[in-house]
A = this chain, B = another copy of it.
Amino acid sequence: MSIEVLPPSANDPKLARIRTLLEDDPKLVEKVETVEPKWACPIFKAEKWEVMQPNGEPGERDIVLHNGGAGVCVVRDGKMCLVRQYRVALGRMTLEIPAGKIDPNEDPAVCAARELTEETGLVAQSLVPIAISRSAPGFTNEATRVFYAQGVSQHPASPDPDEFVDVVWVDVDEVLAAVRAGIIQDAKTVISALFVASLG
């Protein structure tokens, strides 16, 4: 089974109303007055921002700034390529599409292709954008770009020496059942599974 996924169209007339709804609205916009750095580490920066709310009242916002990531949905013969790994922040194993952090100024598609090949040895002829996933816009700018791989071939993997991962192929139907049951939880993987299901 191979599905051709078309790139999104930036000129789709369906986008007109949404673009209007996303224009800055003075009744809703808040302005950043001061930024107080709280902690910076290699992965993110935590800051407290003083803001002016739309009603003229001051407010405080606790923010995590992150450079974002990119992941790739690969489906072959009805199976999705997933990486089995331990996530210490969750205290448990997860199943996630191949993905990684974007280096500063790196093109998201280049990052996605690099991570895919490092972790799995897979090389894609093309990576079509599925969606951008802003994980929790209430407190962080973190965004993961999700791509769909087409024309995939297998080459040797070359995982980072400090990356402990195991590649598995799982039936899309099983992934979808696990998403519905809340057992597969990773946002980029949930999005990938539902995207494939939406193709019918």
Contact = CB atoms under 8 A, between A and B. Distances in A.
Contacts of A64: 44, 46, 64, 89, 140
B8 A181 contact: yes
Interface stretch (A117-125, A131-139, A150-158): A131-139
Interface residues of A, number: 100
A130 B176 CA distance: 10
B54 A164 contact: yes
A154 B78 CA distance: 42
Nearest to A37: B39
User: How many copies of this chain are found per oligomer?
Assistant: 2
A38 to B, nearest CB: 4
A80 to B, nearest CB: 11
A200 B198 CA distance: 7
Given A14-B174, A46-B39, A141-B89, A187 B136 contact: yes
B17 A170 contact: yes
A46 B10 CA distance: 38
Interface string A155-170: 0000000101110101
Contact of A63 (B49, B89, B137, B143): B89
Nearest to A84: B21
Contact of A88 (B17, B18, B51): B51
30 contacts: A8-B182, A14-B174, A14-B178, A18-B175, A18-B177, A18-B178, A21-B170, A22-B95, A22-B183, A28-B86, A28-B93, A28-B165, A29-B86, A38-B46, A43-B138, A59-B162, A64-B64, A66-B139, A69-B136, A69-B138, A90-B137, A94-B137, A131-B180, A132-B185, A133-B187, A135-B142, A135-B187, A191-B191, A197-B198, A198-B198
Closest 9 CB pairs of A and B: A135-B135, A194-B194, A197-B198, A8-B180, A41-B62, A14-B177, A134-B185, A87-B137, A38-B39
